[in-house]
Amino acid sequence: MAQGFNTRAIHAGQATDPTTGAVVPPIYLSSTFEQQVAGEPLAGFEYSRCDNPTRTALQQNLASLEGGVLAYSFASGMAAEDAFFRAVLQPGDHIVLGNDAYGGAYRAIEQVYGPWGVTNTCIDFTDLSHVEEVISSTKPRVVRIETPTNPLMTIVDIEGVSAIAHQHGALVLVDNTFATPALQRPFELGADVVLHSTTKYLGGHSDVVGGAIVVTDAELAEKIAQIQNWMGAISSPFDAYMTMRGIKTLGVRMERHSSNAQALAEAIEGHKAVERVLYPGLPSHPGHEVATRQMSLFGGMMSVQLAGGEKAATALTTRTSVFTLAPSLGGVESLIEHPGLMTHHSVEGTALEVPANLVRLSVGIEDIDDLIPDLVQALDSLL
Ligand X SMILES: *Cc1c(COP(=O)(O)O)cnc(C)c1O
Residues near ligand X (CB under 6 A) are 76-78, 102, 104, 146, 150, 175, 177-178, 197, 199-200, 209, 211
CB atoms < 10 A from the CB of 322, how many?
17
Q: Which of 59/76 has CB closer to ligand X?
A: 76
The H or E element containing residue 241 is helix 237-247
Sign of the four-CA dihedral 362, 367, 368, 371 = negative
- The residues, ordered by sequence, that sit 6+ positions from 13 with a Cβ below 8 Å of its Cβ are 25, 56, 57, 58, 59, 60, 61, 64, 244
Nearest of 205, 320, 177, 201 to residue 254 by alpha carbon: 201
Catalytic choice (102, 106, 113, 201): 102
Q: Which residue's C-beta sits nearest to ligand X?
A: 77
Cα–Cα distance measured from residue 113 to residue 115, given in angstroms and rounded to the nearest whole number: 6
Cα–Cα distance measured from residue 177 to residue 199, given in angstroms and rounded to the nearest whole number: 9
Rounded least distance, CB 175 to ligand X, Å? 5
Catalytic choice (100, 157, 175, 192): 175
Annotation says 200 is catalytic: yes
Catalytic choice (49, 245, 248, 276): 49
223: left (phi over 0), alpha (psi -120 to 50) or beta: alpha
SS3 of residue 328 by DSSP: coil
Q: Which amino acid belongs to residue 215?
A: V
Sign of the four-CA dihedral 131, 107, 341, 246 = positive
Annotation says 102 is catalytic: yes
Rounded least distance, CB 1 to ligand X, Å? 33
Rounded least distance, CB 218 to ligand X, Å? 25
Q: Which of 53/104 has CB closer to ligand X?
A: 104
Q: Which of 80/118 has CB closer to ligand X?
A: 80
Q: Which of 98/355 has CB closer to ligand X?
A: 98
SS3 of residue 325 by DSSP: strand
Q: How far is CA 331 from CA 128, 185, 221, 240, in A?
A: 33, 21, 29, 17
Rounded least distance, CB 85 to ligand X, Å? 13
Q: Which of 104/160 has CB closer to ligand X?
A: 104
Q: What are 121's strand-pairing partners?
A: 96
Rounded least distance, CB 101 to ligand X, Å? 8
Catalytic choice (185, 200, 253, 360): 200
Cα–Cα distance measured from residue 301 to residue 280, given in angstroms and rounded to the nearest whole number: 9
CB atoms < 10 A from the CB of 227, how many?
21
Sign of the four-CA dihedral 192, 195, 201, 207 = positive
Q: Which of 17/207 has CB closer to ligand X?
A: 207
Cα–Cα distance measured from residue 383 to residue 372, given in angstroms and rounded to the nearest whole number: 17
Rounded least distance, CB 15 to ligand X, Å? 27
Q: Which of 104/364 has CB closer to ligand X?
A: 104
Q: Which of 61/154 has CB closer to ligand X?
A: 154
Rounded least distance, CB 16 to ligand X, Å? 30
- On the CB side of 25, CA atoms within 13 Å amount to 27
Contact 239/75 with Cβ under 8 angstroms? yes
Rounded least distance, CB 145 to ligand X, Å? 11
- The residues, ordered by sequence, that sit 6+ positions from 283 with a Cβ below 8 Å of its Cβ are none
Catalytic annotation, residues: 49, 102, 175, 200
